[in-house]
Amino acid sequence: MRQRTTLLRFVLSATLVIVGLPGARLFAADTSHSRSRTSPDLIQSGRDKRVSVIVQFNSSPATIIDLILNTLGARVTRRLNAINMRALDLPLGAVAALASLKQVRFVSPDRQIASFGHVETTTGTADARVQTTTTLGGLITTSTTYDGSGVTIAFVDSGIDAAHVAFRNQLGLSRVILSRDFTGENRVDDVYGHGTHVASIAAGNDQISDGAFTGIAPNAKLINLRVLDSQGSGATSNVLAALDWVLANHDLYNIRVVNLSIGTPAIDSYFDDPLCQAVRRLTDAGIVVVAAAGNNGKDQNGTKIFGQIHSPGNEPSAVTVGASNSFGTDARSDDSITTYSSRGPTRSFMVDDGGMRHYDNLLKPDVVAPGNKIIGAAASGNSLLATHPELDAGVSSDDTRRMMYLSGSSMSAPIIAGAAALLVQANPNLTPSLIKAILMFTAQPLPGANTFEQGAGEINVEGALRLATMVRSDLSASTPLGAPLLTGPPPVPQTITTGQTFVWAGGIVCNHAYAAGDELITRYQKVYAPGYILADGISETPEGQFPDTSKLTAGVLLGLNAVVSDGGSIAEGSPFMNLSLLLGAGLLLPDGIMVGDGIMVGDGIMVGDGIMVGDTAANAVNGDDTTCMR
């Protein structure tokens, strides 16, 4: 959906002096920091103006903070205790004083959030859903159905129509086990229509059209966390409140996967962005967080652009998902990247005290999945379908069975969320980092697409599930580096599905490099331990990047170039850009695209930092082609 974004720049210069307050030393102004603690898109347009902000604290804020906030004229709109944040409304002139407090980590705007908007067969899920195991010398054969049973996926979106047949279990009961509203509208249904569609892609059942539109994990339980209102928009604080709730309640409901088919322009570095920080907290708690990359891969003229990955997709620990186009066929031989899917590198940045910008420049997305004209459940009376009746898939006139199609990375993300649920069901001991590594290692690199467009490649559920079932179930933080990772011989690194054989990527993307080698799946890497992310295995200096031998085994090698894939493994193809350039402040890509303070495309069009282009309703409605996937 279209977002209205204005690039706002503001240099704050104020000092807070607190006299006579208990704990004043704790909250005295801190002048020692070497980077800005306020987001660059806060602007001073008069000291009487009030703004909504997100405040991150270094630790759980003490009671005295409420008195100090009151002194500043601030009003707390949300207390996000599990993630050590507050949503505030306060005078703009008080922002600098707030940011100067020692316990305050970062202050950013409460930005607006918007949605980005046959999978079972084309992703290889159908080939892997039922697996058989023979034991005792061939005397006993057992079969297991992988459908997400026992796993709960939380959907942070516009709501879920829990009455839709797609979400029923075999007894006819809804698998939506809990719904919460964070919009203030005091309703949990899906007036807009985005969230229901997204949830059905991940976890829709086979009870409609003889299973033609079955989701990836059709027996998973769902939690509905509504953060987008009836018009499909919401604030960052809505999402933070939902993630805060997940962190506080994930054990109670066995929430192992969170899907975020929503986003906002990535302006602040992931180190400061409150959404990214919340995602990292969830990942550290053992939850796989899947984020849509965004739909800004082209400008208004249809020209390819780079550097438009959205937040929280710019967070290293998130599984960031771009959109591929399957052109309505089950075969993967014709799949390609959609024109609208947001490309890397991430262009969020940190500002130091000298005003210098330091860009994240992360390799993103991590993987891609089909996202063009995907059929999914239609919420009863939803506004997307009412506004665009051509989206009706013509499956049924019954509101509880109606299906519609949408396009976007919003539709790609839940495919990965469903796949993650299958991996958790197969091996509940898998950590988020190991799940992310498996999804990338087994992906299929698509020919003609570069690393900034597809990451490791297109999701391959068959390979990922086959590998996950072979990973030892007794891994722990104390497992030594280099210990055997699998219970038996390594699998053949290729997949046969829909009559096509393709090789696996054989590697993983991580921050400013990619790592490759069989040891990623044959030996235990310390980056798979709880609390780690994959990029923790790489040391970076001004001279380059090197494997951290305390976290990665010697057989794991780093690649030197982002490549335009030839359809082989992650390292095969023509060089696109030397990855060492990602360590700099600006980038010059070989096809004439300049990524500096803005994005300069070949025809001279400049897109400034933070300005969103091409993210229109047409992306979600029309997609790349004119043929509805059925």
Quick one: average pLDDT of 577-599? 61
* Residue 382 shares a structural domain with residue 307: yes
Residue 628 lies in a domain: no
Question: What does the pLDDT read at residue 115?
Answer: 64
Q: Does 101 share its domain with 166?
A: no
Task: Confirm whether 627 is domain-assigned.
Answer: no
Note the pLDDT of residue 340.
Answer: 93
Q: Is residue 201 part of a domain?
A: yes
Question: Quick one: 536 and 612 in the same domain?
Answer: yes
Among 231-235, 450-454, 465-469, the least confident range: 231-235
Catalytic residue among 127, 147, 157, 335: 157
Whether 629 maps to a domain, the answer reads no
At 123 the pLDDT is 74
Residues 246-289: pLDDT tens digits?
A: 999 999 999 999 999 999 999 999 999 999 999 999 999 999 99
Same structural domain, 100 and 178: no
Q: CA-to-CA distance for 359 and 345, rounded, in angstroms?
A: 10
Strand partners, 134: 141
Q: Can you spell out the DSSP letters for 278-332?
A: HHHHHHHTT-EEEEE--S-SB-TT--B----PEETTT-TTSEEEEEEE-TT-S-S
Domain boundary (58, 93, 110) is at 110
- Give the other-Cβ count within 10 Å of 242's Cβ: 26
Q: Is 194 an active-site residue?
A: yes
CA-CA distance, 359 to 511, in Å (whole number)?
A: 12
3-state DSSP assignment of residue 623: coil
Q: Which residue has the higher pLDDT, 31 or 420?
A: 420
Tell me, what's the pLDDT at 286? 98
Residue where a domain terminates, one of 59, 82, 110: 110
Catalytic annotation on 39? no
Question: Is residue 630 domain-resident?
Answer: no
pLDDT tens-digit map of 560-571: 899 999 999 998
Same domain flag for 71 and 157 = no
What is the reported pLDDT for 451?
Answer: 96
The model's confidence at residue 587, banded by pLDDT at 50, 70 and 90, is low
- Spatial distance between the Cα atoms of 580 and 557, rounded to a whole number of angstroms: 15
The whole-angstrom separation of Cα 224 and Cα 156 is: 7
CB-CB contact of 382 with 196 (8 Å): yes
197 counts as catalytic: no
Q: Which region holds residue 517: left if phi is over 0, alpha if psi is between -120 and 50, else beta?
A: left
Judge whether 171 lies within some domain.
Answer: yes
Cα separation, 20 vs 28, whole angstroms: 11
**Residue 591 reports pLDDT greater than 90:** no
- Structure letter (DSSP) for residue 389: G
Instruction: Give strand pairing partners of 235.
Output: 112
Q: Tell me the per-residue pLDDT of 331-349, one tens digit each, with 9 for 90 and over.
A: 777 788 999 999 999 999 9
Same domain assignment for residues 530 and 600: yes
Cis? peptide before 389, omega within 30° of 0: no
- CA distances (Å), 522 to each of 260, 471, 525, in order? 31, 9, 9
The share of the chain scoring above pLDDT 90, in percent, equals: 64
Contact 532, 433 (CB under 8 A): yes
Q: Which position has the token pair 């082209």?
A: 298
Q: What angle do CA 90, 93, 99 make, to 5 degrees?
A: 75
Same domain, 520 and 383: yes
Q: Is residue 235 part of a domain?
A: yes
Lowest mean pLDDT among 62-71, 127-136, 162-171: 127-136
Residues 333 and 447 in one domain: yes
Rg (the chain; Cα; Å): 23
Residue 514 CB: number of other CB atoms within 10 A? 26
CATH number of the domain where residue 282 is located: 3.40.50.200
List the catalytic residue out of 100, 108, 326, 410: 410
Say if residue 80 is in the same domain as residue 144. no
- Candidate from 70-74, 113-117, 467-471 with smallest mean pLDDT: 113-117
3-state SS class at 573: strand
Residue 608 confidence (pLDDT): 29
Question: Can you read off the two tokens belonging to residue 506?
Answer: 């054989």
pLDDT exceeds cutoff 80 at 577:
yes
Range with the largest mean pLDDT of 124-128, 238-242, 614-618: 238-242
Q: pLDDT digit string (tens) for 3-37?
A: 333 222 211 122 223 333 333 333 444 544 467 88
Distance CA 86, CA 89 (A): 10
pLDDT tens digits for 465-506? 999 999 999 999 899 999 999 999 999 999 988 778 999 999
Q: Cα 151–153–155 angle (5° rounding)? A: 170
Beta-strand pair 494-497/500-503: antiparallel
Confidence of residue 618 (pLDDT cuts 50, 70, 90): very low
| Average pLDDT, rounded, for the chain | 84
User: Residue 97 sits in a domain of what CATH number?
Assistant: 3.30.70.80
Query: What does each C-alpha distance from 257 to 123, 369, 442 come to in angstroms?
Result: 19, 17, 19
pLDDT digits (tens, 9 = 90+) for 355-387: 888 899 999 999 999 998 899 999 999 999 999
Q: pLDDT value at position 127?
A: 76
Question: Is 478 in the same domain as 452?
Answer: yes
Range of 90's domain?
Answer: 1-110
Integer distance in angstroms from the first to the last C-alpha of the chain? 24
Report the DSSP pairing between strands 233-235 and 112-115.
antiparallel
pLDDT above 50: residue 545: yes
pLDDT higher than threshold 70 for residue 206? yes
Output the six-digit token pair for 65. 């903070």
- Residue closest to 261 by CA, chosen among 151, 391, 411, 378: 411
Total structural domains within the chain: 2
**Does 592 score more than 50 pLDDT?**
no
Rounded CA-CA distance 386/367 in Å is 33
Helix, strand, coil % in the chain, rounded to nearest 5: 25, 25, 50
- Considering the domain architecture, whether residues 218 and 169 belong to the same structural domain is answered as yes
Q: Are residues 386 and 492 in the same domain?
A: yes
Catalytic residue among 194, 197, 250, 512: 194
Looking at 88, 110, 132, which one is the last position of a domain?
Answer: 110
pLDDT average, residue stretch 513-538: 96
- What is the three-state SS of 356-379? CEEECCCCCCCEEEECCCEEEECC
Q: Determine the pLDDT at residue 599.
A: 34
Dmax (CA) for the chain in angstroms is: 80
In sequence order, what DSSP letters do the residues of 62-86 get, joined into one string? PTHHHHHHHHTT-EEEEEEGGGTEE
Weakest mean pLDDT among 80-89, 140-149, 428-437, 583-592: 583-592
291: pLDDT strictly greater than 50? yes
Residue 44 scores a pLDDT above 90: no
Residue 96 lies in a domain: yes
CB within 8 Å of 254: residues ≥ 6 apart: 150, 151, 152, 221
